Structure 1
Amino acid sequence: MKIVYYEEDDILFMELTKGEIVRDESLSWNVNIGYTADGIGEITILDAQKSGVYPLQIERVLADAA
């Protein structure tokens, strides 16, 4: 997995899996998903900081914390 934020353009790019993108789908004007043959390959978000998506906040849940 690779996450890159392009500050000058306010674009957040997340590569989830490597592989050839076989289909692109726009969820809205600023969110695009690229699909590989196996599922979601990448997600691109325009105006990421302006729309409140970046910076990312990732929560980790410990399996034995129950």
Structure 2
Amino acid sequence: MRIRYDDQDDILHIEFSKEPIVKDVSHSWNVNIGYAASGIAEITILDAKVAGYWPLENAKDLLASAG
């Protein structure tokens, strides 16, 4: 799992897999989920800090459960 945050553009990108994206779905104007054949591969959130998604309060828990 890889978490990247772009402070200049306020974009949070969470990558779960390097598998090719086969389907992109927008769940709202600022949340996009990329699906691989095996499930969720990545999540991109626009205006992440403004919307309260960044900073991640439970980042350590997320990383522990992903590894």
What is the TM-score normalised by the length of structure 2? 0.86
| Mean Cα deviation higher: 51-60 or 13-22 | 51-60
Structure having the larger proportion of residues in helix: 2
Bigger Rg, structure 1 or 2:
1
Offset of 1:33 from its aligned partner? 0.0
For 1:33, the equivalent position in structure 2 comes to: 33
One-letter code aligned to 1:16: F
User: Please, which runs of 5 or more residues in structure 1 have no aligned partner?
Assistant: 61-66
Alignment of 1:1-66 (within 5 A): 1-58=1-58, 60=61
Runs of 4+ in 1 over 3 A off after TM superposition: none
Distance 1:39 1:51 in 2: 25
Identity of aligned residues (%): 57
What is the TM-score normalised by the length of structure 1? 0.87
CA RMSD of aligned residues (A): 1.0
User: Please, which runs of 5 or more residues in structure 2 have no aligned partner?
Assistant: 62-67
Distance 2:56 2:16 in 1: 15
Distance 1:52 1:37 in 2: 30
